[in-house]
Structure 1
Amino acid sequence: MAAPPEMSEADQIKTFKDFLVQYNKLSELCFNDCIHDFTSRTLRPTEEKCTLNCMEKYLRMNQRVSQRFHEFQMIANENMLALAQKSGNPS
């Protein structure tokens, strides 16, 4: 996880902490959904498939939410810019 050089150390630490929170949330969610039998040290094929599907679905959902948030932010910024230009230029 390479950080841009202009990020401060505090920003890098915050970014890493945010990553760890997301990773732990994903691990716990998929573990609770997919692992039910503790009688073996190894994952069963169904458990492994479930965890992979869970992870892929979670990451796709997270990417989609981020994309929608970015689209919303762009529209909100365009609206604020248009409003600022409209109020700055009396007609």
Structure 2
Amino acid sequence: MNSQQMMTEADQIKTFKDFLVQYNKLSELCFNDCVHDFTSRNLRPSEDKCTLNCMEKYLRTNQRVSQRFHEFQMLANENMLALAQKSGNPS
């Protein structure tokens, strides 16, 4: 196994760990917000709907924040490139 394959494997493990952290955070957040009745093994319809809405809202918000961050990074990179070209440092 070469170093590039090891890096790829390390990146995959990190990505999976990050996914699990996000999943657990989302699960805990929505559970705490939506589940209040522990007298039954099953979710009540209102709890089920609340958890689905919570999850969808969290994921949409996360996607929007990621999109805005990407747009900001692109703009910052363009500004840095323009500044470098103005100052005569093509980097």
**Would the TM-score normalized by the shorter structure come out above 0.5?**
yes
Q: Which has the higher helix share?
A: 2
Matched, 1:21 2:33: no
C-alpha displacement at 1:34, in angstroms?
0.1
C-alpha displacement at 1:47, in angstroms?
0.3
The letter for the 2-side match of 1:21 is V
Matched, 1:40 2:48: no
What residue is the counterpart of 1:74 in the other structure? 74
The letter for the 2-side match of 1:77 is N
C-alpha displacement at 1:53, in angstroms?
0.2
The letter for the 2-side match of 1:9 is E
* In 2: Cα distance, 1:16 partner to 1:42 partner: 29
Runs of 4+ in 1 over 6 A off after TM superposition: none
- The TM-score with structure 1 as length reference comes to 0.89
User: Per the alignment, in what secondary structure is the counterpart of residue 39 of structure 2?
Assistant: coil
Q: Unmatched 5+ residue regions in structure 1?
A: none
Q: Kindly indicate whether structure 1 or structure 2 has the higher relative contact order, using CA contacts under 8 Å at least 6 residues apart.
A: 1
CA RMSD after TM alignment? 1.3
C-alpha displacement at 1:16, in angstroms?
0.3
- The TM-score with structure 2 as length reference comes to 0.89
Q: How many residues align?
A: 84
Task: State percent identity of aligned pairs.
Answer: 90
* In 1: Cα distance, 2:26 partner to 2:42 partner: 20
